Chain A
Amino acid sequence: VTPDPLPPDLLDLERKLANRPQPGPPVELRARVLAAVSRERPTPRAAPVRNGFARFAAATAAAALLAINLSASLANDTDWHLRPTGPDSAAVADRIRELAPDLSDREARRQALLLRASAGLTPAPRPAANSFLRDRESDRWDTP
């Protein structure tokens, strides 16, 4: 941009403006500005440390909950139904054949397997008879 040149009197005024006495910034302003800037600038390691602590706390809480849960399970001698219980499928198939002699062997075995599978559909942990959290008297009567 090359604006029209100023007339001499305005040039003179411009020169006076440029040369007018002006103080520099106070010496203490530098420290004040840099201090304000450092307060504003996020500490580079602050966020990771906070994040790391949160993760550590979460992991500790999760481990504590797991330990409490397992301890309670052990103390209650909890049965997780991880292994099949009751009569094996062959005995069930024999029983089915007795009740329905017209079923083929294959169908009887299939029905036996289905019965066993459906029997294990409820994996709810059942406290054992010696559980200190369960009334032993009622445990005696809860099986049909």
Chain B
Amino acid sequence: MDAPAGEPWPSEPGDAVAALYDRFAPALYRTARTLVGDTLAEDAVQETFVGLVRARVAVTDLENARAYLFAALRHAAAKLRARGGRERPVPPDDLLDLATPTTPDVGRAAELERALQSLPTEQREVIALKIDGGLTFAEVAACLGVSPNTAASRYRYAIEKLRAALGGGRP
């Protein structure tokens, strides 16, 4: 969670988006990367904030903003996919720049990323929102428009499928 609950909304509208960006952009960008890949992640994040202004959403506090932003990000990602932007898995080479891990770590991270990108969109969404976005199951459910139980079971199934893709067993 990037924002404390109930924190007041910035009074100046010009500062509001900047404040939102500073708080939520890292989590949104991580989520967007998992949803649409490296190239389109920036577009998805931009569309999310532009949509916030375009819709003139009355956001009373940062908690409401967080819920709105992640739901908007999901819609923006879906729109980018529908527009024909091909999802591009995160290139394993990009992971070399992230830190200075040992070679086996890089290999494992790249393998994990590839497995994640191979998941169906529905399952990748739930993992992105839960792990990269840091949302609770209730928040994930609200974003996806499903019940919290459905979100939780979908998440578990996605993790199991990811394990299988990594060669760790069923299904």
Contacts of A40 on B, CB cut-off 8 Å? 50, 53-54
| Total number of residue pairs linking A and B with CB closer than 8 Å | 100
Contact (Cβ within 8 A) A1 B137: yes
Binary per-residue interface labels of chain B (91-121) against chain A in the complex, 1 for a CB within 8 Å, 0 otherwise: 0001101110100000011001100100000
Q: For B29, give the chain A residue with the smallest CB separation.
A: A25
A26 CB, nearest partner CB in chain B, Å: 7
B109 interface neighbour in A1, A9, A21, Cβ under 8 Å: A21
B142 CB, nearest partner CB in chain A, Å: 12
* A38→B22 CA distance, assembly (Å): 16
Chain B contact-residue range equals 35 or more
Binary per-residue interface labels of chain B (130-171) against chain A in the complex, 1 for a CB within 8 Å, 0 otherwise: 011000111001000000110111011001101100101100
Question: Which chain A residues (16-40) contact chain B, with CB distance < 8 Å?
Answer: 16-18, 20-26, 29-30, 32-34, 36-38, 40
Given A32-B42, A33-B45, is A13 in contact with B159 using a C-beta cutoff of 8 Å?
Answer: yes
Chain A: residues with CB nearer than 8 A to chain B? Answer: 1, 3-4, 6, 9-10, 13-14, 16-18, 20-26, 29-30, 32-34, 36-38, 40-41
Would you list 22 pairs from A and B whose C-beta atoms are within 8 A, ordered by A residue? Answer: A1-B141, A3-B152, A9-B168, A10-B159, A10-B160, A13-B163, A17-B116, A17-B127, A18-B131, A20-B112, A21-B95, A21-B101, A23-B33, A23-B97, A26-B42, A30-B22, A32-B46, A33-B21, A33-B46, A36-B46, A37-B49, A40-B53
